[in-house]
Chain A
């Protein structure tokens, strides 16, 4: 589904990604761990086409198509979704209007007519239950005045509405209390199908306890330096990253 090969990217002239190789197959959940500055968020931004980042080398195939050649909105229409680390507020634009524009843009891309208002509102009602978002939030402006936890729930709600095939969760667990984390994680799990995959960026095991990743990667200095099963995340939880750093350095002969 996703095939990243030798991906290099820069922001403000500084190279952050230095050759990422990663393959995600349908139904798989990959966890991406690593210290701050390792390039995790850069990778997610590059994948969704944030114009602030520049790809200097490498390729990304998404369902066989050249992802890097697509505009951000096309990537979304093709089934890519990012749950933002810090969702931005858009004052004055109601969630209803926002989601309607998003959903209908996708339908247009698929050659479908816009969804009628009644069906749309019904769909909103169904989907917001998944993350226990109440109707008041759904009628408010996009993320405006939402608490940190509400913003993250709102991200998963949007994911439920747009039904992506590959979701990137960029520190969706940050700033969540135990209950909010459970709601978000369980909401995410309800949306899983054998065809949908996810790339989960996190610092903590507690989110992975819910999501149960198939593969865990460790990012260091813009490269994936270690890949393992779920047990790797547990090991990091106990021992931190330093041992991986040491291991990598000895392998590289530094």
Chain B
């Protein structure tokens, strides 16, 4: 018994590996939010007038709105005036957009090394280009030159605003308008950095592109904005990872990801979300309030969202697809794990507009501790979507009896030729299953990992190799100490 307690204690202590803070000279603007702050962010980024206007419109709209309360979430009060909206850890360095490694604070390099994200290309995992974002600023983007040989643009969104203003202006807000929702409006007003990707016509991106987000500074929010445009016949696989230090107070993360997919083009977007989930008593943790949406504009376009969500105190996120192009195909694969006092309300929206559009939703919720885990999804078939098809499967796995799993599937079908299927199951890891594993020599913690990974297999298999391995480990670690 004592052994077991010791083990559980060890696990509890090591559980969140990325909780360290870095001592980096960071320029943080004063807390609070008003038009002057919006103007200040825009001027710090030396933005063109049209973008400032965009921000201000968003801010004015946001002020007229109320924070949404329809999620199955107990949201702590967010004091938007107690947050700083801009933190720049590269302060003092050159700002010409061509940061060389020599310009980067060694402490900052160390931070990313510790996270296993190499910013030196020679050390990089083969085949992955990285954009590293710390607090409000993109620190470094690797393999830019190599990609540009094929006409691929991969850079921070701030740099894209300077270098490719027409592209950004054409697409930003085209998939997620600032009026979309409360947090989208907030992000549109104060977004700091994020990644920009452009894949030209007919180009297959030769490597995985990846953005790594980290919140470091205290009392700051992270409001990144990612824009991916994959032109006709293009292909790109994009990965997103994120972590944050352990802090007692909640940290706000309100991001937007917009994806535009042209005819015959394909985008795969994979996320392993590992924001700090708060401690075992539910103190602290990231509030992850994110709007992600893709627009399948062209015929035969494809978009898949794959997400493994293990972090955050609160997750409010519905990566969605608008299927306009004929025969376009969208997929949503999700594993959401909640433990302790975590709350997740996550799912997707599939909006079928084009003929013969197809969508697949595979959602796996895993709840442990005193957590609450909800799937919320909408399948809408417009009158124009002749022959649309959707298949949804939402499974919940419960560990223990103090957690909750909920499913909120909405269907809104306006075309009689559509075929929409929905399946849902709820299951529990039984004592019998665990004992069976024990009898074969597999310790309980490992057995839980095995069963959970087996349960999430359909989703994990959709992730790129290296990410899949990472996700498997993460699933096991997030749930250690939950059974037995």
Contacts and interface: CB of A to CB of B under 8 A. Distances in A.
Decide whether A and B assemble into one complex. yes
Interface of A: 48-52, 71-73, 75-77, 81-82, 84, 87-88, 90-94, 97-98, 101-103, 105-106, 109, 141-142, 158, 162
A77 B440 CA distance: 8
Contacts of B433: 88, 90
A92 B441 contact: no
A77 B438 contact: no
A219 B451 CA distance: 37
A90 B446 CA distance: 14
B442 interface: yes
B450 interface: yes
Interface in B432-464: 432-433, 435-443, 446-447, 450-451, 453-457
Nearest to B425: A91
Contact of A105 (B435, B446, B453, B455): B446
5 contacts: A91-B427, A92-B451, A92-B455, A98-B440, A162-B441
B431 interface: yes
Given A92-B451, A93-B451, A106-B441, A101 B436 contact: no
A88 B436 contact: yes
A162 B453 CA distance: 23
Contact of B438 (A72, A87, A94): A72
Nearest to B436: A88
B430 interface: yes
Given A76-B438, A76-B439, A82-B439, A91 B446 contact: no
Max chain A CB contacts within 10 Å: which of B438, B441, B453, B455? B441
B397 to A, nearest CB: 10
Given A90-B436, A94-B454, A97-B454, A109 B430 contact: no
Given A73-B438, A98-B442, A105-B443, 16 more contacts: A48-B439, A51-B431, A52-B431, A71-B438, A71-B443, A73-B443, A77-B441, A92-B453, A92-B454, A92-B455, A92-B457, A93-B453, A97-B450, A98-B440, A103-B441, A105-B442
A101 B439 contact: no
B8 to A, nearest CB: 14
Contacts of B439: 48-49, 72-73, 75-76, 81-82, 84
Contacts of B440: 76, 98, 102, 158, 162
A76 B454 contact: no
A75 B440 CA distance: 9
Contacts of A101: 437, 442, 446-447, 450
Contacts of A97: 450, 454
B450 A98 contact: yes
B441 A88 contact: no
Contacts of B455: 91-92
Contacts of A141: 454
Report which residue of A82, A88, A92 has the largest number of chain B beta carbons within 10 angstroms of its beta carbon: A92
Nearest to A52: B431
B426 to A, nearest CB: 13
Contacts of A93: 450-451, 453-454
A94 B435 CA distance: 17
A181 to B, nearest CB: 23
In the A-B complex, list the 5 residue pairs whose CB atoms are closest, starting with the nearest: A92-B454, A93-B454, A76-B441, A72-B438, A102-B440
Contacts of B454: 90-94, 97, 141
Contact of A50 (B427, B435, B437, B456): B435
B451 A90 contact: yes
Interface in B404-431: 427, 430-431
Contacts of B450: 93, 97-98, 101
A75 to B, nearest CB: 8
Nearest to A141: B454
Given A52-B431, A105-B446, A84 B436 contact: yes
Contacts of A106: 441
A109 B433 CA distance: 22
Nearest to A94: B454
Interface in B100-147: none
B441 A102 contact: yes
Contacts of A50: 435
Given A50-B435, A88-B433, A109 B441 contact: yes
A141 B442 CA distance: 16
A105 to B, nearest CB: 4
B114 to A, nearest CB: 28
A27 B231 CA distance: 72
A88 B432 contact: yes
Contacts of B451: 90, 92-93
A130 to B, nearest CB: 17
Contacts of A73: 438-439, 441-443
B366 to A, nearest CB: 12
Interface in B29-47: none
A126 B456 CA distance: 30
Contacts of B457: 92
Contacts of A75: 439
Interface string B168-207: 0000000000000000000000000000000000000000
